[in-house]
Amino acid sequence: MNRFSLNILFRITALSITVALGVWFLLQHMYFLAGCMLPLLAIQIYGLYYYLNRVNRKLTLFLESIRYEDFSIRFSADNKMGKSFSALNHQFNEVLEAFRQTRAEREASLKYIDTIIQHISVGILSFDNDGKIELINPAAFRLLGIYRLRYIDELKHTHPELPELMLYLQAGHKSLFGTQNGQQLSINAASVRLQGRLVKLISIQNIHAELQRKELEAWQNLTKILRHEIMNSITPIVSLIGTMKDIVEYDIAAGTPGPEAVEDLKEALQTVESRSKGIMNFVNAYRDYTTLPEPQFTQVSLKTLIASVSNLLQSDMRAAGITYHAGVSPENIEVHADAAQLQMVLINLVKNAMDALEHTDKPLINIKGYISSTQQVCIEIADNGPGIEQEALERIFIPFFTTKKKGSGIGLSLSQQIIQMHGGQLKVVSPPAAGTTFYVLLNS
């Protein structure tokens, strides 16, 4: 029998003896002595109750230590009272140790994350619904040109438009912000719910150098194309002018020109005219690309839009022997867009597909409209042609680049520009010899 059981037995025995004595004193009419037994009985009952409740008190202390994260307490005082008490104390201590280790690991992880945030070059800041700053790292201070920030509205002193941009930028979206000292900052937003509170997390990156590099690459590519197109036209013109000069000097100036000289002169003039028109067409295409008007947004029915494109091109596809399918699911999809510009994009993409199918057996074009997994409106234009070579696939959106003999190279770059002005994306997938699919992704 363990110590706890012996102690309980002893207390019950003492309580029984006290009760028996009290009753005996009453029977013997010894009322004073019987009355003296009552306080003793009360003390024994309270002692027994207090002794039996020590497990509850231990459990209360255990739960309080967890609640207030005080894991320094150890339970061992009553180990000698029996195996059950020793086992209970051991389990309490084990649980508290597990909590202590978990807290230590959590604090180490938070310290590790905080160290990373404090040392990365990307600016990080977070704020609650009231605009109160909860976290900001040195990179954010450096990029914003400030040394302290308590509320997001305080940014108005240095960047008047930035607080509103950060407050209303939706989670998962990004925006470009130009500072007064010429930096180009990429602002990315995310939101996190912490204990029922919504906290917005903002990351800030200076992409000025990257934009300059991309801009330089774009100008270099454009310069190469301009030089190529202009030289292709100017070189034969200069050569033909020399030929015409020789005809005038040696044939016409010498006397009556022969029919052969006149014919050579006519042919040279026709070639000069043709190449001059080519330069004019190229300049007009460049003007169209650089002076595209701003979209006039309205709610456009996707089904109606695709039907209008189908009506315009179906006769040409029928004449070319192309099987054509078009569909929208669900049929009530609407998109916020400029209907005329979006129709221009779809016509261009379908015409490109038709050109790609010129030498394909059983040519097929399929247009589908649907809501993508990212909740965007997706228009898919697919053909079963030979596909696009990998080298060309990387350059098809560069202005004036073309793989067609008669193409201007402006269609796809113009289409991409239109879709970007709509806040969307134009993507292409073309596995080797497995057809080509263009994806127009727009916000609904």
Instruction: Tell me, yes or no, whether 190 lies in a domain.
Output: yes
Does 225 lie in the same domain as 193? no
Instruction: Tell me, yes or no, whether 110 lies in a domain.
Output: no
CATH number at residue 419: 3.30.565.10
What integer pLDDT is reported at residue 366 of this predicted model? 92
The Cα 242–Cα 220 span in angstroms is 32
Q: Helices 339-356 and 411-421 sit at what angle, rounded to 10 degrees?
A: 150
> In total, how many domains does the chain have?
4
Place of tokens 């363990």: 2
State pLDDT tens for residues 272-310: 666 676 667 666 666 665 666 788 889 989 998 898 888
Domain boundary (150, 173, 206) is at: 206
Does 312 lie in the same domain as 391? yes
Does 125 lie in the same domain as 87? no
Helix (H/G/I), strand (E/B), else coil: 444: coil
- Structure token digits, residue 398: 């560069």
What integer pLDDT is reported at residue 289 of this predicted model? 58
The sign of the dihedral angle between the CA atoms of 24, 27, 30, 32 is: positive
Place of tokens 């609650």: 128
Does 171 lie in the same domain as 93? no
Which residues lie closer than 8 Å to 269 by C-beta, 6 or more apart? 244
The residue ranges of the chain whose pLDDT is under 50 are: 1
Helix (H/G/I), strand (E/B), else coil: 430: coil
Does 419 lie in the same domain as 312? yes
Cα dist from 310 to 150, 223, 317, 343, 369, whole Å: 57, 37, 9, 10, 13
State the amino acid at position 413 in one-letter form.
Answer: S
State pLDDT tens for residues 314-330: 888 888 888 989 999 88
Instruction: Tell me, yes or no, whether 113 lies in a domain.
Output: no
Annotate 181-198 with DSSP letters as a single string: TS-EEEEEEEEEEETTEE
Does 128 lie in the same domain as 81? no
Give Cα 71 distance to the centre of its chain.
Answer: 42
Query: Is the bond into 386 cis (omega within 30 degrees of 0)?
Result: no
Helix (H/G/I), strand (E/B), else coil: 344: helix
> How many CA atoms, within 13 angstroms, populate the side-chain half-sphere of residue 20?
6
What integer pLDDT is reported at residue 382 of this predicted model? 92
User: By CB neighbour count within 10 A (0-12 exposed, 13-18 middle, 19+ buried), where does 282 fall?
Assistant: buried
State the amino acid at position 45 in one-letter form.
Answer: I
CB 83 within 8 A of CB 2: yes
The Cα 276–Cα 233 span in angstroms is 7
What integer pLDDT is reported at residue 4 of this predicted model? 56
Helix (H/G/I), strand (E/B), else coil: 318: helix
The Cα 222–Cα 22 span in angstroms is 113
CATH number at residue 160: 3.30.450.20
Does 276 lie in the same domain as 234? yes
What integer pLDDT is reported at residue 348 of this predicted model? 85
Does 269 lie in the same domain as 389? no
Instruction: Tell me, yes or no, whether 149 lies in a domain.
Output: yes
Q: Helices 259-290 and 411-421 sit at what angle, rounded to 10 degrees?
A: 20
Which residues lie closer than 8 Å to 17 by C-beta, 6 or more apart? none
- Domain that residue 239 falls in: 217-290
Does 400 lie in the same domain as 319? yes
Instruction: Tell me, yes or no, whether 178 lies in a domain.
Output: yes
The Cα 38–Cα 32 span in angstroms is 10
- Structure token digits, residue 354: 């038709």
What integer pLDDT is reported at residue 374 of this predicted model? 79
Does 154 lie in the same domain as 37? no
CB 398 within 8 A of CB 225: yes
What integer pLDDT is reported at residue 1 of this predicted model? 45
Instruction: Tell me, yes or no, whether 46 lies in a domain.
Output: yes
Does 437 lie in the same domain as 305? yes
The pTM of this model reads 0.46
Domain boundary (179, 206, 233) is at: 206
Instruction: Tell me, yes or no, whether 111 lies in a domain.
Output: no
Does 224 lie in the same domain as 194? no
The Cα 421–Cα 342 span in angstroms is 11
Domain boundary (290, 323, 352) is at: 290
Instruction: Tell me, yes or no, whether 131 lies in a domain.
Output: yes
